Amino acid sequence: MPRVVDAEQRRQQLAEAVWRVIRRDGVTGASVRAVAREAGTSMGALRHWFATQDQLLSFAMTLVVERARDRITAVLRAGAPLRDQVLAVLEETLPLDDERRAEGEVWLALTARALVDADLAALRDRAATELSGLCAAVVDALAEAGELAEGVDAALEAERLYAVLDGLAVHAITRPSALPPARVREVLAAHLAELRDTR
Amino acid sequence: MPRVVDAEQRRQQLAEAVWRVIRRDGVTGASVRAVAREAGTSMGALRHWFATQDQLLSFAMTLVVERARDRITAVLRAGAPLRDQVLAVLEETLPLDDERRAEGEVWLALTARALVDADLAALRDRAATELSGLCAAVVDALAEAGELAEGVDAALEAERLYAVLDGLAVHAITRPSALPPARVREVLAAHLAELRDTR
């Protein structure tokens, strides 16, 4: 079905145009008109896909989540030893290269916008539930492998890991010179090492 | 000098009007016109204080930092035992009541806006330097009091503490039902307890 494939590809191209506008001009600048110009298409053609700015922003947010989810699925399928796998999975959510940095900037911009936009807030909350669930799964996997000390509060450790992860993400996005990718990896690895040794 | 005091008070009232507009309508909505309406003043009178939207947003950001700094100074002056003091100082930066929640929402909105606004980025970076410096001072104080194990990497622990702090802040702002104030305190206290026991 080449037309279905083309349609999905076209939707992704348009969402990437939304990302570029958000990164350059902020959420405010991401009007249907500006995105059509960025994508080299007409407003009429763009409206075939996204009728309003809200739909553009929602799809831009959805694409961030889908891309991270696809990469995480690929890491899980590769089936590395648990410690390596845990680190690799969590790193897929952090802005450690240009692609993930673009996602991170769009995520931060739309997370803030979601404070005053109920549709985006619903998307943001679903993404947060997914990511905090991933952190809980990581802690549970370490516990099942006998790598957590007895008596550790798994729910609290999941919440703390999730805070480290998003704190590092915000800092790497906003302070790239103070927190380059190698340092982000180092802090995350230290946290996981400590988690395995928690008394 | 009553006039100087009045002037400072008026500036704060106007900045609080900016906060209310940002929290209700987002950064986009915080035009000079909208803020004048919110503050019950004319655009001409408001322009006496803030000529442009950029100046409004900069002052709104500055006020967030100043308020947190004032509360932290007060905690330090109160002179509690180190462990209590460290927790109390860090809690002043977290959205644990209505006042700090308002600050947190404005901080998140302006942190995102700073991705595409160089003036705001400079303010945000100064605030980040101050807060990451506070985290470093906390780790150093614990080390000097003999409460950190030997061989702990103080710089890395400061970075990790800063990530936990801002991660908790973002989550408490965006997921208040999943992460109520009592839970934020619990996770932060657990992190500090673990830091003191780090091997």
CA B15/CA B56 separation, integer angstroms: 7
Q: Are A55 and A15 in contact (CB under 8 A)?
A: no
Question: How far is CA A109 from its chain centroid?
Answer: 12
pLDDT band at B3 (very low <50, low <70, confident <90, very high): low
- Residue A3: the pLDDT is 66
If you write DSSP's letter for every residue of A49-63 in order, what string do you get? Answer: H-SSHHHHHHHHHHH
Mean pLDDT of chain A: 92
**CATH annotation of A57-197:** 1.10.357.10
**Partner-chain residue, chosen from A115, A164, A174, that has the shortest CB–CB distance to B105:** A115
pLDDT in tens, A42-69: 999 999 888 899 999 999 999 999 999 9
**Cβ B112–A113 below 8 Å, yes or no?**
yes
- Residue B182: the pLDDT is 97
Burial string for A176-194 (b: 16+ CB within 10 Å, else e) reads eeebebebbbbbbbbbbeb
pLDDT band at A199 (very low <50, low <70, confident <90, very high): very low
- Mutate one of A159, A185, A188 to test the B interface: name it (highest B CB count within 10 A): A159
CA A131/CA A27 separation, integer angstroms: 23
Residue carrying structure tokens 């896909």: A49
Q: What are phi and psi of A15, to 5 degrees?
A: -65, -35
Q: Are A99 and A116 in contact (CB under 8 A)?
A: no
ipTM, two decimals? 0.94
Q: Is the pLDDT of residue A107 over 80?
A: yes
**Partner-chain residue, chosen from A23, A109, A156, that has the shortest CB–CB distance to B187:** A156
Answer yes or no: CATH 3.40.190.80 is held by domain B54-197.
Answer: no
CA B19/CA B192 separation, integer angstroms: 32
CA A58/CA A54 separation, integer angstroms: 6
**Cβ A164–B159 below 8 Å, yes or no?**
no
Residues 6+ apart with CB under 8 A from A51: none
CA A26/CA A199 separation, integer angstroms: 45
**Partner-chain residue, chosen from B108, B167, B197, that has the shortest CB–CB distance to A112:** B108
- Residue B4: the pLDDT is 65
- Mutate one of B25, B103, B115 to test the A interface: name it (highest A CB count within 10 A): B115
Q: What are the boundaries of each domain within chain B?
A: 54-197
pLDDT in tens, A125-184: 999 999 999 999 999 999 999 888 777 899 999 999 999 999 999 999 999 999 999 999
CA B30/CA B47 separation, integer angstroms: 14
**Partner-chain residue, chosen from B26, B116, B163, that has the shortest CB–CB distance to A164:** B163
> Closest chain A residue to B157 measured between Cα atoms?
A187
Q: What are phi and psi of A176, to 5 degrees?
A: -60, -30
